[in-house]
Amino acid sequence: MLIPMSASSVTILGCGTSTGVPVLGCACGVCSSPHPRNKRYRTSAVVRLWNGKNIVIDTSADFRSQALSFGLDRVDAVLYTHAHADHIMGMDDLRGYNFSHQHSIPCFSDATTLATLRRTFSYIFEPDPTYEGGMLPQLTLHEIKAYLKFELCGTEVMPLALQHGKLSVLGFRFGDFAYCTDCKSIPESSMQTLQGVKTLVLDALRYETHRTHLTIPESIEIARKIGAQQTYFVHMTHTVDYETVSKNLPPGIALAYDGLTFEFSA
């Protein structure tokens, strides 16, 4: 049974692109900047529900550091947007929560992503019977589909389809909040699903054009069409200086930063 409550929140665990920022070996102005908001873990987030449950969106390659930095003391479920390395390679670190809470963690995504997870982490999902090391992550995989709402941890989650170049990936809507990273376009059916959100997290890689990611100008246009009260941009590369770009964004649109937290109504 779903029990409505308003004191749910989202913390952006990381808002950087696949390399993270600073980029290794780079001495550009952003990578060498002392500004804390120019330092970006790989993109992921945690939805902290009113009932104390935490739903992680993507276990990024920086997941362990993110969890320690932002006090992630429990993980009750994981939603995966897609199976690119920067969004999944922290999966093994979930076993720390198995140690703490003594239960398996359910992980949800579409069939394509689940197949890649099974292949990439075959040692978890098809363990070697002769293995003698430490405990493997205890995870269960569950298939979900775009536009089929489901209940998770006492709240409703609506998956929606996004196009990451030719790859179909998932975004997620929780009440009046939606999370749409890693996309170049949003199908009309998903635009309809996003109507009425008050807070939107949206991919916005950089100003320069890209084949599989929205640029900042493209994201501004989409944000205006969706009409959320507040839109936060994520998955930003090292050509995006926080202070410089922030000054030029329209009202109601801002760059996210690692540790950004906001409330929403589930």
Q: How many CA atoms lie within 13 A of 34 on its CB side?
A: 0
Detail the DSSP E strand segments found in 28-104.
44-48, 54-57, 77-79
> Which pLDDT value is given to residue 120?
98
| DSSP-based three-state secondary structure for 141 | strand
Distance CA 29, CA 133 (A): 44
- The DSSP code for 205 is -
Give the CATH number of domain 8-145+154-258. 3.60.15.10
d(CA 110, CA 144): 5
Q: 40 and 62 in contact (C-beta within 8 Å)? A: no
- What integer pLDDT is reported at residue 244 of this predicted model? 98
**Confidence at residue 3, expressed as pLDDT on a 0 to 100 scale:** 41
pLDDT, position 4? 46
Q: Can you give the pLDDT at residue 248?
A: 97
Q: What pLDDT is recorded for position 1? A: 37
Contact by Cβ (8 Å): 61, 90: yes
52: DSSP letter: S
Per-residue pLDDT of the chain (266 residues; tens, 9 = 90+): 344 445 899 999 999 999 999 999 999 999 999 999 999 999 999 999 999 999 999 999 999 999 999 999 999 999 999 999 999 999 999 999 999 989 999 999 999 999 999 999 999 999 999 999 989 999 999 999 999 999 999 999 999 999 999 999 999 999 999 999 999 999 999 999 999 999 999 999 999 999 999 999 999 999 999 999 999 999 999 999 999 999 999 999 999 999 999 999 98
pLDDT of residue 7: 83
Q: What is the DSSP letter of 3?
A: -
* Token pair recorded at residue 170: 């998932």
> Domain residue spans in the chain?
8-145+154-258
